[in-house]
Amino acid sequence: MTSLPTPTAPAVSPGEALPARRRALLVAVMGLLVALGPATMDLYLPAFPTVMADLGTTEAAVQLTLAATTLGFAVGQLVVGPLSDSLGRRRPLLVATGVHVAASLWVIAAPSVEWVMVGRFVQGLGAAGGGVVTMAMTRDLFAGDALGRFLARMALVTSLAPIVAPSVGALLLRVVDWRGIFAVIAAFGLVMTVAAALWLPETLPAERRAPGLAGARARYRVLLGDRAFLGTLAAGASVFTAMFAYLSSSSFLYQVDLGLGTQTYGALFACNALGLTACAQVSARLMRVLPPWAVLSLWLALMGGAGAGLVLAGRLGAPTWVVLVLVALVVAPVGGANPAVQVLALSPHGERAGTAGSLLGAVNFGVAGLVSPLVGALGVSALSLGLVVLVATSCGQAAVHLVVRRTWVAAPA
């Protein structure tokens, strides 16, 4: 099996010619735009038990509000990505972040969990712009090793969301109810809309833009005909499934099943996110000496081993500290796997980076949103979380070694 031919990358990445301070500003703004999505989900996690009590609903229904957000991410990226290839990057990004702010205000006024689900879905639609358009902007500006380095630097900023958000959410719950948390989310979205308007340039010149609907269909045909890209989609979805299984269950696992307090939950969540950040930087270095598919396989193996450990810990009734360590070993490798997935997906498809990013994000969040509630359906515990992680990472390894490894053709640096 062979992959489709890859377009030739520029000899010098345009972004490398920018002054260092300008690149640092791009890292900060683009990283925070990507972080808008995780912040939208993670700031809300400590409030799950409060939402359940306030709205008189069930644990499973509250988890579905998170699943609705991930599905909104999936659908939004399918729309915003192709639009950014046709209309340029800035306009779709600004409209999407504006939609996110409006949806946040909707959730504040929601009278029931069903209305919260609707608002969360639209929030996901809007936050999708920050994820997919900034990924396409990065591919517009960088190629080869420079692409991997810039993605890893962005991960430093992006990781602030999972590090800070649960702790901030737990602190906010001392002074406001769960609706107040969504007021903070709305304010963050508004700030990022203004920041994007002021400081992000248009990175896709008019002469490089693809035609409208017919062009979008052509781009999708190319991507869906590339076996390496399809294998990357499957592997990326397995990583996101494991991550969102953790996100959707962590509040109940830590606070209810393990009996830990809200502040302890926020601190543990932050520690896990620090590990995620560290692994992202390690991944950038590993990709200098190993092909990205091998780096991805390494992180999947570590996640799968931790998942198997959680299954055993749940069966044997292991001490709390053992469960906490194994959960950390599930989460941290996600930070290393994501840059490898992005390089595999974007490097051969610079001419259609927006559409490639939209498919990657849509499949990641769509599959994760559908599968991660299984943890709740199985009953939140270390065993159920470990089982979902183990199955997901095993599927990811199969995709890497049976498809990506055999078909991957790297774009020239």
Architecture of the domain delimited by 15-407 = Up-down Bundle (1.20)
Report the distance separating Cα 295 and Cα 342, nearest Å: 12
What tokens were used for 271? 């520690």
For helices 320-346 and 262-286, angle between their N-to-C axes, nearest 10 degrees? 40
Report the distance separating Cα 393 and Cα 239, nearest Å: 7
Report the distance separating Cα 327 and Cα 325, nearest Å: 5
Domain coordinates in residue numbering, the chain? 15-407
Report the distance separating Cα 89 and Cα 103, nearest Å: 22
* pLDDT number for residue 413: 39
Contact status, residue 178 vs residue 55, Cβ threshold 8 Å? no
Q: Model pTM?
A: 0.68
Q: Residue 297: CB partners within 8 Å, gap ≥ 6?
A: 397, 400, 401, 405
Helix, strand, coil share (%) of the chain residues, nearest 5: 85, 0, 15
SS3 label, residue 258: coil
pLDDT in tens, the chain (413 residues): 334 333 334 444 566 667 778 888 888 898 889 888 878 877 887 888 888 888 988 877 887 888 888 788 878 888 888 888 888 889 999 999 999 999 999 999 998 999 999 999 999 999 988 888 888 888 888 876 777 777 777 776 776 666 677 778 878 888 888 999 999 999 999 999 999 999 888 888 887 777 665 667 777 888 888 888 899 999 999 998 888 888 778 877 888 778 887 778 778 877 887 888 888 889 888 988 888 999 999 999 999 999 999 999 988 888 989 999 999 999 999 989 988 998 888 877 767 777 787 788 778 777 766 776 666 677 778 888 899 899 999 999 999 999 988 876 554 43
Q: Residue 111: CB partners within 8 Å, gap ≥ 6?
A: none
Contact status, residue 288 vs residue 145, Cβ threshold 8 Å? yes
* pLDDT number for residue 412: 40
Gyration radius of the chain's alpha carbons: 20
What tokens were used for 62? 């509250």
